[in-house]
């Protein structure tokens, strides 16, 4: 308790320092002898005001991503400490880290929501977002990567690539994010550099460019060899209270261990050859100037080549260390500034049309009881200033921004302006939500649209501002739902307000009202996600809600192709509305992303319709996708073709939409319905003595084993299993293995239920079981 109280006091002092101007900057002392010592005075805490608007080439917008418990938050904590922005080293187990500031995060020791921090390192400004590793909060990773320029992928060196590592890596690839890899936990007895490198090659299909090799292993891990400079970086062991701030760097020499010298020589030769294979400019330099001796190539030339390889995403730089033991984090910070891109090195097509006008993307919203909604913005062009009006293109509204802040987890510093390339926190944007594009004014957006249209190769006219809106954030569909009820009807309005605020913060949370029962339905990404939402409503809004049983969010599809025609004829007042719609539906592969829900028009039908009427037909069909013919679950794997739409003059778009929806419903019933259930990809790490028990339990859960791999003394079980069978699995697994197993789940695909299971589900939904 005294240690924890001391840390808490240090945090309070930190907050006061961060929010007070004129704090003396951290000073560094570098001594050059046989070795170099890096250190800074620990009593100085830097002010965010000192680096408010650096040159754009000195900015790095990065994210920390990894599988759960790989050490993301611990690595972030060390970065803040060594850069001089915190006074003490926080610990996840003690619940006193900067970025895990939510009560739920500190109690559970996991990251639940992404947190942004800003700090400087060697004349560079780093805007860093620490992201969750749990699959239930994958949206936090998605919206962070949407606005970042680079990423650090953290690996447990004893496990290599794990289940959620694959997920976040795919998300980074989707946004074309250059990455640096950090093999953490090199102090573990089972840490294995070669194993981790091979897993990156095989599972991520990436080219790992090894820049460091470890010195020692397990508890004897003392540092790394920098292969670019041929220097040893050593952190002293056994010193009480050693925070890793001081380490020595000295060149390799013949007095070092022969095994280390040979390993370093072989690794550097492999590094030079690998970089030459990936970068033509470097290969030409080697062949023309250093063909006799590759080792003579200057370090700076090799660093430049590694940077080009990283930015081109031809390879990923790999470093190693142990964040918990305070080793290897400073070289990682150097790698971030050296190899990851500045904002002006990333190209965004839409931004060019705005020139020097403001263009920003809202990627996250938080609610503050005193200040109201806090909106995180990534500024792509122009300058942002407080007390100014801005235009939200998506909402087609103007809003006034009252204050502008630099984010530092839950502590923020107010500043007078923010330039392109930065991440800002704004106060006063009450209508803005995640994915909205913010510009200086409506005329500015119109001017950008004209520039885009004038330079368009086809000259085809798009909808107003369609080409100058930044792409938003893709929100995954929920997989679980349950009812939520307030303790009394007097609290219903308060509950609705709480859910509205939480939905704005978390777009993956969906809330709807059941039309038959009138109950409020809470839809989320998993058991933990809904549990956290329930706890936040209790803590933050003071409402003791009751949750109904957790249920799986199924999907529906159709069996075969079907065509249908429907006519709607109504006379309202003196106006007659008459429309006939003919369409066909057919099943497509539901596991294919392009086959989720397709809608197309024949050339004849498209020629018949104005833009307004085409939109009305699309709206009617899309509304039918939301409720399938069997159980009312959303449709998936259905392709719709509009064959003809005939209407009399004066027919309203609303009637056209209603007719299309009714015709669609008839066609779906004619095509026959089938339930699709979410199937999860399961990875269980378990000791060999408990493997048979886990396998037997999976067989009862309709699981299919894909592979069983060996990882040190454990077995890694890879399987697919229906989500409906995984309720409460963590408790069962803990019982089966006496707590000596871990698992991770990820949505794999939706598959058709077998007839027996589907019949049981239909009876259960009908209340017969």
Task: Tell me which DSSP letter residue 491 carries.
Answer: G
What length does the chain have?
769
Instruction: Write the Ramachandran bin of 251: left for phi over 0, alpha for psi from -120 to 50, otherwise beta.
Output: beta
pLDDT of residue 650: 87
Reduced to 3 states, what is the DSSP secondary structure of residue 579? strand
Residue 333 in tokens: 């910070």
pLDDT of residue 433: 93
Distance in angstroms (rounded) separating the CA atoms of residues 668 and 69: 46
- Between the alpha carbon of residue 266 and those of residues 221, 260, 568, 624, the distances in Å are 20, 10, 78, 63
Distance of CA 217 to the CA centre of its chain: 32
Task: Tell me which DSSP letter residue 244 carries.
Answer: S
Task: Tell me which DSSP letter residue 23 carries.
Answer: P
Q: Is the pTM of the predicted complex or chain greater than 0.85?
A: no
Q: Of the candidates 528, 523, 532, 537, which has an alpha carbon nearest to the alpha carbon of residue 486?
A: 537
Q: Tell me the pLDDT tens digit for each residue of 84-133.
A: 888 888 788 777 787 877 877 787 888 878 888 888 999 899 999 989 88
pLDDT of residue 462: 44
On the 0-12 / 13-18 / 19+ scale of CB atoms within 10 A, 524 is buried
- Which ranges of the chain have pLDDT less than 70? 1-53, 237-241, 456-466, 590-596, 767-769
Reduced to 3 states, what is the DSSP secondary structure of residue 588? coil
Task: Label each residue of 148-176 as H, E or C.
Answer: CCEEEEEEECCCECCHHHHHHHHHHHHCC
Distance in angstroms (rounded) separating the CA atoms of residues 240 and 243: 9
Q: Are 43 and 88 in contact, with CB atoms under 8 Å apart?
A: no
How many Å is the maximal CA-CA distance in the chain?
A: 101
Q: Which residue has the tokens 């390993």?
A: 263
């Amino acid at each position: 308790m005294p240690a924890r109280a001391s840390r808490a006091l240090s945090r309070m002092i930190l907050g006061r320092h961060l929010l007070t101007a004129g704090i003396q900057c951290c000073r560094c002392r570098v001594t050059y002898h046989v070795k170099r010592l890096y250190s800074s005075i620990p009593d100085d805490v830097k002010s965010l005001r000192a680096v408010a608007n650096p040159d754009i080439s000195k900015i790095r917008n990065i994210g920390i991503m990894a599988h759960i418990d790989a050490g993301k938050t611990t690595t972030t904590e060390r970065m803040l400490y060594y850069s001089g922005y915190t006074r003490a080293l926080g610990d996840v187990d003690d619940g006193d880290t900067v970025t895990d500031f939510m009560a739920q995060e500190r109690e559970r020791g996991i990251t639940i929501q992404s947190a942004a921090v800003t700090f400087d390192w060697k004349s560079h400004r780093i805007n860093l977002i620490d992201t969750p590793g749990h699959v239930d909060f994958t949206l936090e990773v998605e919206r962070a990567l949407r606005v970042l320029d680079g990423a650090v992928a953290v690996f447990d060196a004893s496990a290599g690539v794990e289940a959620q590592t694959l997920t976040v890596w795919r998300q980074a690839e989707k946004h074309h994010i250059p990455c640096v890899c950090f093999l953490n936990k090199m102090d573990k007895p089972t840490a294995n550099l070669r194993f981790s490198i091979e897993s990156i090659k095989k599972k991520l299909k990436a080219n790992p460019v090894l820049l460091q090799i470890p010195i020692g292993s397990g508890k004897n891990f003392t540092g790394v060899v920098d292969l670019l400079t041929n220097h040893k970086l050593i952190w002293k062991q056994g010193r009480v209270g050693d925070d890793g701030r001081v380490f020595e760097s000295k060149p390799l020499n013949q007095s070092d261990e022969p095994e280390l010298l040979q390993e370093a020589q072989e690794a550097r030769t492999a590094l030079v050859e690998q970089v030459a294979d990936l970068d033509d400019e470097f290969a030409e330099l080697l062949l023309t100037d250093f063909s006799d001796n590759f080792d003579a190539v200057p370090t700076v030339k090799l660093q430049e080549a590694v940077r080009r390889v990283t930015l081109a995403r031809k390879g990923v730089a790999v470093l190693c260390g142990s964040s918990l033991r305070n080793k290897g984090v400073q070289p990682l910070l150097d790698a971030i500034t050296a190899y990851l891109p500045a904002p002006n090195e990333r190209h965004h097509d839409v931004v060019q049309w705005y020139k020097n006008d403001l263009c920003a993307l809202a990627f996250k919203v938080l609610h503050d009881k005193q200040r109201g909604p806090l909106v995180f913005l990534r500024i792509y062009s122009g300058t942002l200033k407080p007390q100014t009006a801005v235009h939200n293109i998506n909402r087609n509204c103007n809003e006034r921004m009252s204050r502008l802040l630099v984010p530092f987890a839950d502590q923020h510093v107010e500043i007078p302006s923010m330039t392109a390339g930065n991440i800002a926190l704004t106060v006063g944007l009450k209508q803005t939500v995640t994915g909205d594009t913010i510009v200086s004014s409506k005329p500015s957006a119109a001017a950008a649209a004209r520039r885009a249209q004038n330079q368009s190769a086809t000259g085809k006219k798009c909808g107003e501002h369609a080409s100058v809106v930044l792409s938003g954030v893709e929100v995954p569909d929920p997989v679980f739902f349950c009812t939520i009820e307030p303790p009394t009807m007097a609290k219903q309005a308060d509950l609705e307000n709480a859910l509205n605020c939480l939905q704005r913060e978390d777009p993956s949370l969906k809330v709807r009202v059941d039309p038959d029962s009138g109950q409020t339905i809470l839809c989320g990404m998993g058991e933990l996600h809904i549990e956290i939402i329930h706890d936040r409503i209790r803590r933050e809004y003071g409402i003791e809600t009751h949750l109904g049983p957790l249920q799986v969010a199924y999907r529906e599809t159709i069996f075969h192709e079907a065509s249908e025609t429907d006519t709607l004829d109504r006379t309202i007042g003196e106006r007659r509305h008459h429309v006939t719609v003919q369409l066909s539906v057919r099943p497509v592969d539901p596991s294919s992303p392009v086959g989720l829900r397709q809608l197309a028009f024949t050339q004849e039908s498209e020629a018949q319709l104005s833009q307004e009427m085409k939109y009305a037909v699309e709206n009617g069909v899309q509304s039918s996708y939301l409720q399938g013919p069997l159980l009312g679950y959303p449709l998936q794997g259905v392709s719709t073709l509009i064959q003809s739409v005939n209407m009399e003059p004066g027919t309203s778009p609303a009637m056209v939409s209603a007719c299309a929806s009714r015709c669609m419903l008839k066609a779906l019933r004619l095509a026959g319905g089938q339930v699709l259930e979410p199937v999860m990809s399961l990875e269980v790490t378990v000791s060999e003595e408990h493997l048979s028990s886990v396998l037997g339990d999976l067989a009862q859960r309709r699981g299919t084993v894909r592979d069983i791999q060996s990882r040190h003394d454990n077995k890694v079980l890879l399987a697919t299993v229906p989500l409906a069978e995984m309720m409460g699995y963590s408790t069962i697994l803990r019982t089966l293995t006496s707590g000596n197993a871990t698992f991770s789940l990820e949505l794999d695909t939706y598959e058709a239920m077998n007839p027996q299971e589907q019949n049981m589900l239909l009876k259960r939904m009908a209340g017969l079981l």
